[in-house]
Structure 1
Amino acid sequence: MAGEVRRRMVVVHPSPDVYGSDRQLLESVAGLVADGWEVEVVLPAEGPLSPLLLERGAIVRVHAFPVLRRALLRPRALAQLVLRSPVTVWRLRGRLRASGAAAVYVNTLTIPLWLVAARLAGVPTLCHSHEAERLARPVQLALTAPLLLADRVIANSESTRAVLTGTVPRLTARTVVVHNGVPDPGPPAPLRRRRPEDDLRLVLVSRLSPRKGVHVALEALTLLRGQGRRATLEICGSTFPGYEWYERELRARADRPDLAGAVTFHGYVAETREVLDAADVVLVPSFGESFGNVAVEGMLAGRPVVASDVQGLAEVLDDGRTGLLVEPGSAEALAAAVASLADDADLAARLAAAARQEATSRFATAEYRARVSTLARLVARTGGRGQRRPGRRRWRNRGE
């Protein structure tokens, strides 16, 4: 776009951390910048995501705004948020109008006030949903209904799309599925052939929260060790604020005699490929996942993946061909699947090879970036619905 004034896209994201949807934001931003956008990312606080966004050519602003964490979904907290919302929305509206944005990209459902503010500011909006968890009907409706203010909605899986459109059917026409693009660091280390005296190394990369099923992995490890297997588990991840109790419970369980010395808590790990390269099996025992970036990372690392047979994970993995899917919440099923891989090196190698080939073709970052950029251009030009919105002439002066 040489010689043109670059259009500005304001991207709003609820977290300064670097996990699944945060990493996906980096790919979205990289695609938008490559497509000629001036990208301003607004975060609610400083954190490790900021320098990564700067590396990809974005402008980063820190601007406090409410994020719908679980703690806010209780009646009293939600009521207080609603009471404060008009002032917050008016403040965000003013910020958007002053930014000169041609479009707003709202990343996740947990920051709906930005959708309201963008509509009041008259700025076209693209919202990216990474949530497929089914909640109580009133809560689900409260989270999903604001998407009616978005011109286009990206769902990261068919499972996510089904939750959104099942809750608010009017979203069907404006919602499109774009599977995540997961970076491939390059050829992985060869999958090792274990000797009888070698430990069976299991790896789990995840936020430490109950729905991620980390406790299920600990119980599966107990069963494997009870069979006389020299199995160990490495856990990479930290908690959301408010879930410190869960980490304490996990650590207490790991300190009991049957697991003592077999579990390592690494905390947050920025680059996980080295840990995955050392793994014999990658575990994803979640009770629900809208997509499953960690599963794809395990596939790209050339490791056999054992995951729960739920939502997006069932879209990512083909059971018996590119990984193994097991009943969610069942330590017995998880242990049995791991044991089958430990006892059959050929099966493990076959799944790992097929998984890497699948991941490099289905979840490539180049295709993901291109699709997000195309949708962004469509929304900025037409509001996403096939005709230019009235009153948008001023945006054409910014390079449209």
Structure 2
Amino acid sequence: MLSLRPRGQGDASRRIVVVHPSPDVYGSDRQLAESVEGLVGHGWLPEVVLPAEGPLRALLEDRGARVRVSDFPVLRKALLRPRAFLLFMLRSPATLWRLRADLRRSDAAAIYVNTLTIPLWVFAARSAGVPVVCHSHEAELVARPLQLALAAPLLLADRVIANSVATRTVLTTTIPRLSARIVVVHNGIPDAGRPAPPRPRRAGDQVRLVLVSRLSPRKGIHVALDAVALLRERGRSVTLDICGSTFRGYEWYERDLETRVQELDLSDVVTFHGFVAPTRPLLEAADVVLVPSFGESFGNVAVEGMLAARPVVASDVQGLAEVIEDGRSGILVEPGSVEGLADAVASLSDDPVLAARLGATGREEATTRFGVEQYRSRIATLLLQTARAHNGFRRRTTSRVWRLVRSAQRRPGQARYRYRGE
């Protein structure tokens, strides 16, 4: 049986550098906290490097990690344009040398690079001789040259973790050679315990909707607003709570949403709560959870809604289709379809029994398939296997070289004869 506690002399064998591109606390950020808790719980000493101060730091320190802030480049959307990406690459050598030096000083047994948006750390790890595991949370398709540029550094990783089959498919379609080193580990979502039962509701009663998301066009919040307006046109009584804030640079989208609310005359039924943590109370206060994204590599919010035993209506895309079985554990609709989203909500409004059944089945599925303990254990196991395989290879190589050197020193003539003696 594999022991998850790293072996070796001193603390060096237990040190691991963990790198993450954001100090916020959204999907992949919260997932990092679960990864860190798994590493700490299995004997590792993680040092997490973040590019800036933010709320994630306290969360990680509470999980037992040491955290430091060090400026390093992150591939945001603005850098994925060809010219901007070229400039990024031209400025990379100096940064790469600094990151390599940081890794060598760390004396870490491995490095865990979270997301594809910080590729310089993969190059730095390889040049420093540190085994590297990269965790990909990205299943969004971009222009092929940029997709290749994002995925290519993974050829230098010892192991790649994909958070869904959808993510693995995107990576292997882009670079087929990656298939041998990719393993799928579905996100593990903490369960806050038995949820409050759904409020008693009869057909046609008011429906409370909730949407938890970053405020960005890809998340489809504008589609949800249009669906609420359509439902009201049909005489339905609905409210919508929106929880989330913007990435820097997307403030314009938040303003557009607020303007849309005014134009659609929804001010009395739509509430913007900003960033909310924890989200469980708002999920339990809702009748239906909406996830109208245009693309998701996994869908943490969908699982959180399922754990709260509320029916989830989500877009039929990538990871969301992997999480939800349509008609059994939730409802999937065509992405971007205002009518489809409104029709799904109306069906749940008219059939409280269906809503309760989807909520109950969804919770059962979520607790079985996306448990946080199995996720933490799996991440810790993969990091340990990678570190041991690397160290075993290094020991075998060193031993082989040392035997040849000693042989040449003791019997130089015979060694030379054996080398030449075809």
Asked if structure 2 preserves the Cα contact closer than 8 Å seen for 1:125 and 1:383, the reply is no
| Residue 89 (structure 1) aligned to one of 88, 92, 96 | 96
Which residue of 2 is the match for residue 314 of structure 1?
321
What is the deviation of 1:260?
A: 2.4
Distance in 1 separating the partners of 2:10 and 2:214: 41
CA offsets 1:198-218 (integer angstroms, 9 cap, x no match): 531100000111111111000
* Most deviating of 54-63 and 248-257: 248-257
Asked if structure 2 preserves the Cα contact closer than 8 Å seen for 1:124 and 1:150, the reply is yes
CA offsets 1:195-247 (integer angstroms, 9 cap, x no match): 57853110000011111111100011111111111111110011111111111
Q: Which amino acid aligns with 1:5?
A: G
Q: Which amino acid aligns with 1:389?
A: R
Q: Which amino acid aligns with 1:183?
A: P
CA offsets 1:318-370 (integer angstroms, 9 cap, x no match): 00000000000001000000100010000000000000011011000110011
Whether 2:143 is the aligned partner of 1:136: answer yes
> Where does the alignment leave 5 or more consecutive residues of structure 2 unmatched?
399-422
In the alignment of these two chains, the number of paired residues is: 392
Larger radius of gyration, structure 1 or 2?
A: 2
Report matched runs for 1:358-369 at 5 Å: 358-369=365-376
Q: Which amino acid aligns with 2:393?
A: R
| Secondary structure of 2:268 counterpart | coil
Which residue of 2 is the match for residue 388 of structure 1?
393
Which residue of 1 is the match for residue 53 of structure 2?
46
Whether 2:291 is the aligned partner of 1:284: answer yes
Which residue of 1 is the match for residue 409 of structure 2?
none
Distance in 1 separating the partners of 2:229 and 2:43: 53
Asked if structure 2 preserves the Cα contact closer than 8 Å seen for 1:255 and 1:261, the reply is no
Distance in 2 separating the partners of 1:287 and 1:206: 12
What is the deviation of 1:30?
A: 0.4
| Residue 356 (structure 2) aligned to one of 349, 352, 357 | 349
Distance in 1 separating the partners of 2:182 and 2:381: 14
- CA 85–392 in structure 1, closer or farther in 2 if over 3 Å, else same: farther
| Secondary structure of 2:91 counterpart | helix
What is the deviation of 1:193?
A: 2.0
Asked if structure 1 preserves the Cα contact closer than 8 Å seen for 2:204 and 2:349, the reply is no
Asked if structure 1 preserves the Cα contact closer than 8 Å seen for 2:203 and 2:352, the reply is no
Whether 2:49 is the aligned partner of 1:14: answer no
CA offsets 1:56-94 (integer angstroms, 9 cap, x no match): 000001000000000111223212211110000000000
What is the deviation of 1:255?
A: 1.6
Which residue of 2 is the match for residue 397 of structure 1?
none
| Residue 200 (structure 1) aligned to one of 186, 192, 207 | 207
* Most deviating of 187-196 and 198-207: 187-196
- CA 392–210 in structure 1, closer or farther in 2 if over 3 Å, else same: farther
| Secondary structure of 1:388 counterpart | helix
- Runs (4+) of structure 1 moved beyond 4 Å? 1-4, 195-198, 390-393
Q: What's the TM-score once normalised by structure 2's chain length?
A: 0.90
Which residue of 2 is the match for residue 396 of structure 1?
none
Which residue of 2 is the match for residue 184 of structure 1?
191
* Most deviating of 256-265 and 176-185: 256-265
| Secondary structure of 1:383 counterpart | helix
Distance in 2 separating the partners of 1:92 and 1:392: 26
Which residue of 2 is the match for residue 62 of structure 1?
69
Q: Which amino acid aligns with 2:173?
A: G
| Residue 29 (structure 1) aligned to one of 32, 36, 45 | 36
| Residue 74 (structure 1) aligned to one of 78, 81, 100 | 81
- CA 391–62 in structure 1, closer or farther in 2 if over 3 Å, else same: farther
- CA 50–294 in structure 1, closer or farther in 2 if over 3 Å, else same: same
Q: What's the TM-score once normalised by structure 1's chain length?
A: 0.95
| Secondary structure of 1:92 counterpart | helix
Whether 2:263 is the aligned partner of 1:256: answer yes
Whether 2:309 is the aligned partner of 1:302: answer yes
CA offsets 1:357-398 (integer angstroms, 9 cap, x no match): 1101100011001111110001111139xx6235898xxxxx
Asked if structure 1 preserves the Cα contact closer than 8 Å seen for 2:242 and 2:274, the reply is yes
Q: Which has the higher contact order (CA 8 A, sep 6+)?
A: 1
| Greater share of helix | 2
CA offsets 1:34-61 (integer angstroms, 9 cap, x no match): 1100000000001000000000000001
> Where does the alignment leave 5 or more consecutive residues of structure 1 unmatched?
394-400
